[in-house]
Structure 1
């Protein structure tokens, strides 16, 4: 630090940089002396610290009591200054970084000055974006490309003139095969290739219950959600009219209601997420022949079952080299669902089946056609999500382009915007926090030595992928990855073609050994995840930036933000679902009975605690005292609590090794308090009632307020740091902690 020369004038006492300098008497003829005083080194003055301090100042609501509601204290100011944009149903720190990322990608996609010098896939993603933005060409084609697809599948009954649709032209299995391999859709049953949970070195054909458009809870309780379901039916009618329907609108509405009713019946058949947390229950190994016998147990009145698995699988894998025989070993996740599905299909008209499946096609790619189709989608979202304005087309095209060619988009993003030092620093932090987890395991009184050893081995074996894949330095590897990808001037055709390429890439893994270095997402995303089948954590480049990460700010902030996220993902390997896999990702029982029982008791404490967390904003909408679902969110809640504790312990170790950190300028908080403020500020959010409803109905995460207050209320470190009295809301007597 530079020295400051301080001239002592006639003041008897002067304050400089927080230090008191006494007046020294001097003779009249004595020259006035100069004193050298060092600048205060207890405050960090880097650009990163100054910016972080300013961000916290405007985020904090000092009128709130941190020991009563820390989320309100840390985020109250942020919420006042960050109303929900008209195009969003919620607005949080992740959305802000997402928007920054969108602008960066837009900048990349619009730069066509260096096309000849860039790898071919980069040129392809730019061409994809430009075709998406070509409004004139898209309007010229309108809905015609979609209509042609529907025609090849026998026509969408609701959009067909009365008497022109024939059930003889509708082939259910052929249609299911087409929508799976061409669009990745799973409207009745999911057929895909997935890692074998008991032998993670290979992949296997996996069959599961189908997906739904609306949340299961919403479809299963139609009387409670009439407004949303009516808007859903109106969306169908509107699209049918644009696709050329010449039927009376009242008749179309009746037909749309039948589609909604059918999807509600499907929802009733599906297992809720609460019942899908036991990997052993969902691991059923059968051959195709055995699955057919199981399906045939449903009474068919002498007719063949509608679900003929041999044929369906051959249609799904039609574009691959895999030959699926009747002896092919498969994994079936929901045995009872398939029986119920067969019974439902037998008692549903072919017209309704065609209407529903082809509606899923229309819903999937309708926005990729004309402006009127996009407007109909937006009209539904106004009711469903609470948005006021539709997204600008450029944002939608950035999203579509990045989804279609994620590694091509990520390749250029990393080269142009990513700080390579962040990868090194983040990797070091991963190692520190993983060691913190291991150290915590060693101190657990409820875990016996045998299970502790297995837990340590799993944590030590956990692979980490930071920033971007190692092969990104090789442009030839990028070109090889997208070999066969074609992009033209027509946006709709581009979407269809590249979706098929992505689906085929997944199906082609059937006869290949598991690539444990495989990235599931591209680098240009603001997310992080744990893969239990490879025991690996991934932190893409998109999340390694402010406010989650900074290289010239306090480590207290980094450990409180990205550090907690790292700890969160590590803990996923040991939450109620991740703990079922061993260090190699295999479904193996590595817990002793006594330790497993102790674990379940501690997990139950988390479940019951979060079950009582209120969401009063939804009381009127749900006509009850709304609370979180502690069962469906338990995995994320366990990870939230464990991640925060591990990150704080790792930060304490950092201070022990490097000495205490400075304060932030203009803020009278200790670095430990800054850790918790950094943690909380990452989750600041403004939410609409519609957004909160979707979180409560179907999101595995708790609402952001409880992602902050829940872990902090369970933390003795937090209570001590903020001096919260025992029994206060943020320091309850009864606490829950697993890891």
Structure 2
């Protein structure tokens, strides 16, 4: 008996018999037929081939900006978790803690949640969307604000400043300055004409948050226009970030020289002032070029009010 036949023999025994094996294979093929769209050539459009009619039949909830298989699965899992936490009891301490936290969130009033959000935002220096802050926009120093937000909440608007292993020299860590995080997925912001509905929902979300956070008299009369400006600026940022931005190893002194409008020493000191890190002009930094150069040029022609409202 050769090895191939022996393996097949063991497989048949494990399944039960040949008939069961065939039925099992047929069943799997039927499942695949439900998923795959055989009318599409996979070499032409593999996405449509593999997703079949899900794209056209899946119903996206109105409150979701994005919707795909992962979001749908997450909704199902969250629904099951809710049922478990709401309808069950257990003496396990871990379950009791999870259940207690869950009901604490449900029992919180809207005012409780907005108060906590206000404390968080005020701790980062406040949100500049309300009109009361726009008077100081001309003195707004965006690099310092980015450093403060990064340190306070590990959020990276405009720029992402982070310490990682030096990929060129694994024996040391260096500071990286890369493009910042975007709220919306890059592919939406890079192609806004193809994602009008998603961007409209994004706009409604920003406006709704502002109205929830602040009383009417504190909201800018031009709130719609302000949010349009923010989204337009984010679209520009996304296109800058999507370009070929290879990192370049420079020193802090060289970075200051190339972007003479930014006091990088002060920015980095804000990030590391309580970490005991000594900064010097010859400290190496891996910087995403030409993103930084293009960003500084973009910010020169962008109204300060837009920059401060984005942050």
Q: TM-score, normalised by structure 2?
A: 0.70
1:326 matches 2:304? no
Please, what is the CA RMSD of the aligned residues? 4.6
- Mapping of residues 395-406 of structure 1, within 5 Å: none
1:349 matches 2:303? yes
1:144 aligned partner: 115
1:252 matches 2:197? no
> Which of the pair has the greater relative contact order for Cα pairs under 8 Å at 6+ separation?
1
d(CA) in 2 for partners of 1:224, 1:69: 23
**Is contact 1:285-1:330 (8 Å) kept?**
yes
2:254 aligned partner: 290
1:198 matches 2:176? no
1:151 counterpart SS class: helix
| Structure 2: gaps (5+ residues) | 1-10
**Is contact 1:154-1:169 (8 Å) kept?**
no
d(CA) in 2 for partners of 1:335, 1:318: 26
d(CA) in 2 for partners of 1:239, 1:41: 61
For residues 353 and 101 of structure 1, do their structure 2 counterparts lie closer, same or farther at Cα, with a shift above 3 Å needed?
Answer: closer
1:648 aligned partner: none
- Mapping of residues 363-378 of structure 1, within 5 Å: none
Q: Aligned to 1:135, which of 106, 128, 137?
A: 106
**Is contact 2:12-2:21 (8 Å) kept?**
no
1:315 matches 2:293? no
**Is contact 2:37-2:50 (8 Å) kept?**
no
d(CA) in 1 for partners of 2:83, 2:170: 38
Q: Aligned to 2:289, which of 314, 317, 335?
A: 335
Superposed displacement of residue 106, structure 1: 8.8
For residues 140 and 309 of structure 1, do their structure 2 counterparts lie closer, same or farther at Cα, with a shift above 3 Å needed?
Answer: same
Q: Aligned to 1:166, which of 110, 133, 136?
A: 136
1:270 aligned partner: 241
1:61 matches 2:33? yes
2:170 counterpart SS class: strand
d(CA) in 2 for partners of 1:60, 1:342: 51
Q: TM-score, normalised by structure 1?
A: 0.33
**Is contact 2:147-2:270 (8 Å) kept?**
yes
Q: Aligned to 1:91, which of 69, 83, 100?
A: 69
d(CA) in 1 for partners of 2:28, 2:186: 39
1:184 aligned partner: 154
**Is contact 1:190-1:207 (8 Å) kept?**
yes
**Is contact 1:84-1:91 (8 Å) kept?**
no
Superposed displacement of residue 354, structure 1: 1.4
d(CA) in 2 for partners of 1:292, 1:102: 52
Q: Deviations over 1:288-312 (max 9, x none)?
A: 111111212xxxxxxxx1x221111
**Is contact 1:153-1:170 (8 Å) kept?**
no
2:183 counterpart SS class: coil
Larger Rg: 1
Superposed displacement of residue 355, structure 1: 0.5
d(CA) in 1 for partners of 2:50, 2:197: 32
d(CA) in 2 for partners of 1:324, 1:228: 43
1:229 counterpart SS class: helix
d(CA) in 2 for partners of 1:211, 1:66: 39
**Is contact 1:159-1:246 (8 Å) kept?**
no
Q: Aligned to 1:155, which of 126, 135, 138?
A: 126
d(CA) in 1 for partners of 2:238, 2:74: 35
Superposed displacement of residue 192, structure 1: 0.6
d(CA) in 2 for partners of 1:145, 1:183: 14
Superposed displacement of residue 135, structure 1: 1.7
| Structure 1: gaps (5+ residues) | 1-39, 116-121, 277-281, 297-304, 358-739
d(CA) in 2 for partners of 1:67, 1:239: 43
d(CA) in 1 for partners of 2:29, 2:194: 42
Q: Aligned to 1:235, which of 205, 215, 237?
A: 205
1:265 counterpart SS class: helix
Superposed displacement of residue 238, structure 1: 1.7
Superposed displacement of residue 129, structure 1: 7.6
For residues 338 and 283 of structure 1, do their structure 2 counterparts lie closer, same or farther at Cα, with a shift above 3 Å needed?
Answer: closer
Superposed displacement of residue 223, structure 1: 4.8
Q: Deviations over 1:130-177 (max 9, x none)?
A: 15852222534131222233334453232345x785337855333212
d(CA) in 1 for partners of 2:165, 2:106: 41
For residues 345 and 79 of structure 1, do their structure 2 counterparts lie closer, same or farther at Cα, with a shift above 3 Å needed?
Answer: closer
Q: How many residues align?
A: 287
